[in-house]
Amino acid sequence: MPNEIIYKSRWQAIKIILLSLPFVLAAVWDLCIDTSIMPDVVSWLSLCFFGAGIPIGIYQLFDKRPKIIINEIGIFDRDAYTDYITWNSIADAYLTSVYQQKFICLVIKEEFKHLIKSKKPLKSLLLQLGFQEVNISLGPVGSVKENKLLNLILAMRNAEPAERINLLNI
């Protein structure tokens, strides 16, 4: 069974670590010297907030699990949904962005919407913002060409089951 597997970008994790590190070092330095530039509360808050970025970045750096898996059954996004979304349940897909973060929104057919388990307040907010119940975030993957991925999703949902294997081999 051919799969198209997309992993998280290691560069994104390195950026989180490198952006957090100067603030952590500045807070530690400010807490260690006697003539403090900032109040201790600000230094501790900075240390706690930006200090959390370092273990998060390290975790993402060594996380080897795939983010998106595409095969002839459907599409699986570890962050968007807990199971494969079959090609028969997808009515349409489109690309959108919020603050330069790209998303592929999957429009689910009405007869399959009962299978989507989402929280009601969040669902209405997402729909008001132009999203759908299932959205695939492309920010963590970095190197993926979003238009190429969108075209693959649209081609796979319209293809017959026998043709889907050929589309994945391209």
For residue 8, give the DSSP letter: P
Contact predicate 104/146, CB 8 Å: yes
- Dist CA 42 CA 55 (whole Å): 21
- Give Cα 37 distance to the centre of its chain: 38
Query: Which pLDDT tens digits describe the chain residue by residue (170 residues)?
Result: 577 888 888 898 999 999 999 999 988 988 888 666 667 888 889 999 999 999 999 999 998 888 888 888 888 888 777 788 888 888 899 988 888 888 888 888 888 877 776 555 666 777 777 788 788 888 777 677 888 888 888 888 888 888 888 887 76
Instruction: Please report, for the chain, the start and end positions of each structural domain, with discontinuous segments joined by +.
Output: 8-62, 68-168
Helix axes 10-32, 40-51, angle to 10 degrees: 160
pTM score, two decimals?
0.76
90, two tokens: 């997808």
Q: What angle do CA 139, 142, 147 make, to 5 degrees?
A: 85
26, two tokens: 């500045």
- Dist CA 157 CA 139 (whole Å): 23
